[in-house]
Amino acid sequence: MTRIAGIPIAAIFCACTLSQADARSWQDSWATVINERHGFAIAYPDNIFTQKSAQPKTDEGGVYLSKDGKAKLLVGAFENADHQSLEDYRKFLISDQYANAKIDYAPIKARWFVLSGDRDGETFYQRVSFTCGGKLINSWAMLYPTSERKTYDRVVEAIARTYTPGAGRTGACD
C-alpha cells in the first residue's frame, strides 16, 4: 500500500473549508520543505497549512493540515520497492485511490503525471514524478472541498510552481 509520511493515502481524504481571511491572505507567508534524503523541495502557504503535529519519524514526507484540519497537503518521496512502471502506478492510483472519481485533468509525460478531479464533494490534485530511472517516486497532493475550488485551485497552481522532484541526497540518485 502506498503511504505518504507513513499514512496510507486512502486514509487521509476529507472535506474542508477555507476562511475568508485565509482566502485573502494566503500568498503572504510561505514555508519551504526540503527533504535531504530524497532531494525534493516544495513550498506552501503557511497561513493555510501547518505541519501535522504528530508526524511519523520518517523523512519520506509530511502531512500539512488547514487550520480547521480538513484540507490536506501531502508531500513525499519513497523508493519504488515494487518496481512499478509510471503507467502501472498511475493505473493503481486511479483504481485504488480515485475510484469513482471524475478525473478532469490528467496529463502524462515520460517521467510524471497529474491526476485531478472531484469525488464526493472533494477536489484532489496529485502530481507524481518518477526519478532516478524509476527508483524513486516523488509525489504531492492537495485535497480540498469542491465548494472551495475557486480559491484552492489558485493555491494548487502556486504550490505547483515551487515543486522540485528529488533525485537523492546529492541529486545523483544515490
Q: Tell me the pLDDT tens digit for each residue of 7-27.
A: 333 332 333 344 545 444 555
Cite the beta strand spans of 13-172 per DSSP E: 30-34, 41-45, 49-51, 61-66, 72-79, 102-105, 112-119, 122-131, 136-145
Q: Which pLDDT score is estimated for 56? A: 52
Which residue ranges make up each domain of the chain? 3-162
Listed in sequence order, the residues at least 6 apart from 106 whose beta carbon sits closer than 8 Å to its beta carbon are: 113, 114, 115, 116, 117
Q: Which grid coordinates belong to 160? A: 505547483
The β-bridge relationship of strands 112-119 and 3-4 is unpaired
Q: Residue 51 is which amino acid?
A: Q
Judged by average pLDDT, the poorest of 82-91, 115-124, 159-168 is: 159-168
Q: What's the rounded mean pLDDT across residues 67-78?
A: 86
Which of the residue ranges 18-22, 117-121, 141-145 would you say has the lowest mean pLDDT? 18-22
Mean pLDDT score of the chain, rounded to an integer? Answer: 81
106 vs 50, residue with greater confidence? 106
Residue 61: the pLDDT is 75
The CATH classification number of 3-162 equals 3.40.1000.10
